[in-house]
Structure 1
Amino acid sequence: MKPDDPLLKILACPLDKGPLHLVPADGPEQTEVLYNPRLQRRYPIVDGIPQLLPSSGEQVSDDEHNELLKRTAP
């Protein structure tokens, strides 16, 4: 998924219905994710398809939250 993908403008967190931020992969062993900084939840992107079921989201720690915010695409 690209940061300028029009799909990003309509994707929303399934829990609070707010916008999500694309976080690019940071190395070959990581994958890109969609991130909701308000709830500190990340959602995986598998084979280019965002997994936006509430059960597929993961809560992140405060340290990981800060790291994800640094990597968030503008």
Structure 2
Amino acid sequence: MSADDPLLRILACPLDKGPLTLLEPEEALYNPRLRRRYPIVDGIPQLLPSAGEQLDEEEHARLLRSLSDPEERPS
């Protein structure tokens, strides 16, 4: 999945039904409102509520920084 994939426009978090952000190097989708990360396995987003991982404040802050500053993104 890539950032320009049209599927991203229609995918939604299964819990709050809001949009998700692609975390490309991590192969995951992220909901910053609920601090939940959903994995992408073999190109397929795992969007069951039980597949989501609740992130702590530190990881949430790291992801927000990496999304706003491309130089902080892991390679």
TM-score band w.r.t. shorter chain: 0.7 to 0.9
TM-score normalised to structure 2 length: 0.85
Give the secondary structure class of the aligned counterpart of 1:11: coil
Match of 1:28 in 2: none
CA distance in 1, matches of 2:54, 2:64: 14
Residues 44-65 of structure 1: per-residue CA shift (max 9 Å, x gap): 0000000000000010011100
Q: Which amino acid aligns with 1:21?
A: T
Amino acid aligned to 1:23: L
The answer to whether the 8 A contact 1:23-1:71 is kept is no
TM-score, length of structure 1 as denominator length: 0.86
Residue 55 (structure 2) aligned to one of 60, 66, 70: 60
2:22 is matched with which residue?
Answer: 22
After superposition, where does 1:35-74 map in structure 2 within 5 Å?
35-72=30-67
Q: CA deviation at 1:72?
A: 3.2
**Aligned residues with identical type, % of pairs:** 70
Aligned-partner SS, 2:33: coil
Q: Larger RCO: Structure 1 or Structure 2 (Cα < 8 Å, ≥ 6 residues apart)?
A: 1
Q: Aligned pairs, how many?
A: 69
Aligned mates of 1:8, 1:72 — CA distance in 2: 16
